[in-house]
Amino acid sequence: MSDLTIAFPGTSSHIRLVAYVRVQWVDYSNTVRCRILSASYFLDMIKATRPGMGVPKAALGVIYLKLAKGFPSTGEYLYVPDISTLRICPYAPKHAVVMGWFQEKTPCLKAENVLTIDVPLCPRAMLLRIVR
């Protein structure tokens, strides 16, 4: 596997070599969860028509080895990287980190009979709604 050069926002004069990208999120128990992808796989993924990776719906409700009440034990969300959050990991050489948004894999009906891919339980979306 060869390293790739990725241009990061605000660092045009400091482009660095990246071998791995940590696609991460923070769950409701304040635990940082991540998947570590090779840089080449990550670049291929974000070129897709609808970029993202599958994450079990239960992942947001796991506390230690138990699933909290109210979280589904089946199904999968699409975790879509937010490229504007791509950063170099200062603690891990040749690693970058990116956050993302949870979306439904297939559109579902909201209360207003409108199709949507938004996930009300997405931690970043929830924080955005609170801040606004």
Smallest Cα–Cα separation from 25: which of 132, 127, 131, 129?
127
Neighbouring CB atoms inside 10 A of 86's CB total 19
Residue 70 structure tokens: 């109210």
Condensed to tens digits (0 to 9), the pLDDT of residues 102-132 reads 999 988 888 788 888 988 888 899 888 899 8
Pairwise CA distance, residues 96 & 79, whole Å: 17
For residue 36, give its domain range.
4-131
- What is the predicted pLDDT for the residue at 7? 63
- What is the predicted pLDDT for the residue at 63? 82
pTM equals 0.82
Question: For the stretch 15-48, what's the b/e string if a residue is b when 16 or more beta carbons lie within 10 angstroms of its beta carbon?
Answer: eeebbbbbbbbeeeeeeeeeeebbbeebeebeee
What CATH number should be reported for the domain holding residue 77? 3.10.20.70
Number of domains in the chain: 1
Smallest Cα–Cα separation from 44: which of 35, 53, 33, 54?
53
User: Where is average pLDDT lowest: 22-26, 30-34, 58-62?
Assistant: 58-62
Give me the percent of the chain exceeding a pLDDT of 90: 38
